[in-house]
């Protein structure tokens, strides 16, 4: 397994998921994450290409993320509008705007826009280092600061936060701005670090995968980071493997990694659920494959492309909703007037 490749694929997911986590801890589910990543990706490529500097690319993507976070916050927090409706609209906006901008800036579609290649620090992209630093930083922010405590109150029981003298509106807007910043960075890295170009709709569901990761990681930054590694691994498989004929060993790897994570999840839930059957099934499948005398089986390439989404869905089914979900998640807070 190629560790660098794994990190490259996990990083955009993890960054976006961390941003989403901050918002959800504050009680706002940001469905527009995908769109924010997409706009970040385009602006990063555009700014980096026209200025020749990667830093400016990342900075403008981050700034756009903050602006978009506040924009969606104006609707969902200030106007108390439905969060799913607003998020869906933002995704549409991003799809349309980036498509139009792309055509306006670079003409015909499908062109490869080679950007400046990223310098390596310790053999990996600096963004990966940033992520490794950001994950505990977010955990610290959420669990060990006054702001984090207030934010969790705003997401769990907003009336209490308000009674303690905090403004739920302000806390949620701040969380959305920070989350948007992360989403912008995630998109920028996807374009500048992974693809080296911009393609219309290039996020291809990564924003939604990131939302799924927050549930999977039980709204805890470190677990979310680990969960991102699993989905990133599934995404990297299709690039590290041959087109259609795939050695069974790889499938074993996937089953093994998947089963191991599932075991951790089940143990962390105190062995009290029928989802215990799930890692057992994985183990049984691995055992069957080991004992079958096929050493190569034909696996359609589409299965590898669908794998991240499939795994995310199966994991969500296995872990369920749980009890740690912020109590007021998705519910707009209206202060009594």
Partner 1 sequence: MIRVWRGVGTGAGLFIILVLTLLALRLPVGDSLRLIWTGAFGDEAGVHRTLVRLIPLTLCGLGIIVAWRGGMYNIGGEGQFIAGGLVGCIVAKALLKMAHPPGWWLTDSAVLLGGIAGGAAWGALAGWLYVRRGVEVVISTILLNFIALQLLLYAVSGPLQEGKGQLPLTDKIPDALMLPRFNRQTDLHVGIFVAAFAVLAVFGWLFFTKSGFCLRVVGENPRVARANRIDAGRTRILAMAISGGLCGLAGGVEYVGVAGQLGNSFSQQWGFLAIPVALLAGLHPLILVLSGLYFAAILAGSKTMAGFTSDGTVLIYVVQAAAVLGLVALHAVRSRHPLATEVD
* Binding status of residue 68 toward partner 1 by CB under 8 A: no
Binding residue (CB under 8 A) for partner 1 from 75, 166, 198, 233: 75
Tokens standing for residue 145: 């600061």
CB-CB neighbours of 277 under 10 Å: 13
- Report the candidate in 313, 128, 305, 97 with the shortest Cα–Cα distance to residue 208: 313
Radius of gyration of the chain (CA): 20
Q: Which residue has the tokens 């499908």?
A: 110
Binding mask 88-127 for partner 1 (x = CB under 8 A): xxx-xx-xxx-xx--xx----x------------------
Which residues ranging from 173 to 212 are in contact with partner 1 (CB under 8 A)? 204-205, 208-209, 211-212
**Residue 132 Cβ vs partner 1, minimum distance, rounded to whole Å:** 26
| 306 contributes a contact to partner 1 by CB under 8 A | yes
Which residues lie below 8 Å from residue 100, measured CB to CB, with a gap of 6+?
A: none
Which residues in 10-29 contact partner 1 (CB under 8 A)?
29
Q: Determine the interface stretch with partner 1 among 7-15, 87-95, 139-147, 180-188 (rule: CB under 8 A).
A: 87-95
Q: In terms of CB distance, is 124 or 199 closer to partner 1?
A: 199
Q: Min. distance of Cβ 96 from partner 1 in angstroms?
A: 3
Site residues (vs partner 1, CB under 8 A): 29, 31, 75, 79-82, 84-86, 88-90, 92-93, 95-97, 99-100, 103-104, 109, 204-205, 208-209, 211-212, 215, 300, 302-303, 305-306, 309-310, 312-313, 316-317, 320-322
């Amino acid at each position: 397994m190629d560790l660098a490749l794994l990190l490259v694929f996990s990083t955009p997911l993890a960054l976006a998921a961390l941003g989403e986590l901050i918002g959800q801890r504050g009680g706002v589910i940001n469905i527009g994450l995908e769109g924010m990543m997409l706009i970040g990706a385009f602006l990063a490529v555009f700014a980096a290409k026209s200025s020749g500097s990667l830093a400016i690319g990342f900075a403008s993507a981050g700034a756009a993320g903050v602006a978009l976070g506040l924009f969606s916050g104006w609707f969902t927090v200030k106007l108390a509008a439905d969060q799913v409706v607003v998020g869906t609209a933002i995704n549409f906006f991003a799809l349309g705007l980036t498509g139009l901008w792309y055509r306006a800036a670079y003409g015909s579609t499908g062109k490869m826009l080679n950007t400046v290649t990223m310098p390596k620090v310790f053999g990996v992209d600096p963004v990966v280092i940033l992520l490794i630093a950001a994950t505990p930083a977010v955990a610290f922010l959420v669990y060990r600061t006054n702001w984090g405590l207030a934010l969790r109150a705003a997401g769990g029981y907003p009336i209490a936060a308000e009674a303690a003298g905090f403004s739920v509106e302000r806390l949620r807007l701040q969380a959305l701005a920070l989350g948007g910043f992360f989403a912008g960075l995630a998109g920028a890295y996807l374009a500048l670090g992974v693809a080296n170009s911009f393609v219309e709709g290039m996020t291809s569901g990564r924003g939604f995968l990131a939302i799924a990761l927050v549930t999977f990681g039980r709204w805890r930054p470190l677990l979310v980071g680990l969960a991102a590694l699993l989905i990133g691994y599934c995404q990297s498989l299709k690039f590290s493997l041959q087109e259609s004929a795939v050695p069974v060993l790889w499938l074993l790897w996937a089953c093994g990694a998947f089963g191991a994570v599932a075991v951790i999840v089940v143990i962390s839930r105190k062995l009290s659920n029928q989802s215990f059957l799930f890692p057992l099934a994985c183990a049984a499948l691995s055992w069957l494959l080991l004992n079958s005398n096929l050493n190569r089986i034909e696996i359609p390439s589409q299965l590898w492309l669908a794998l991240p989404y499939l795994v995310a869905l199966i994991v969500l089914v296995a872990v369920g909703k749980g009890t740690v979900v912020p109590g007021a998640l998705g519910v707009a807070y209206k202060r009594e007037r």
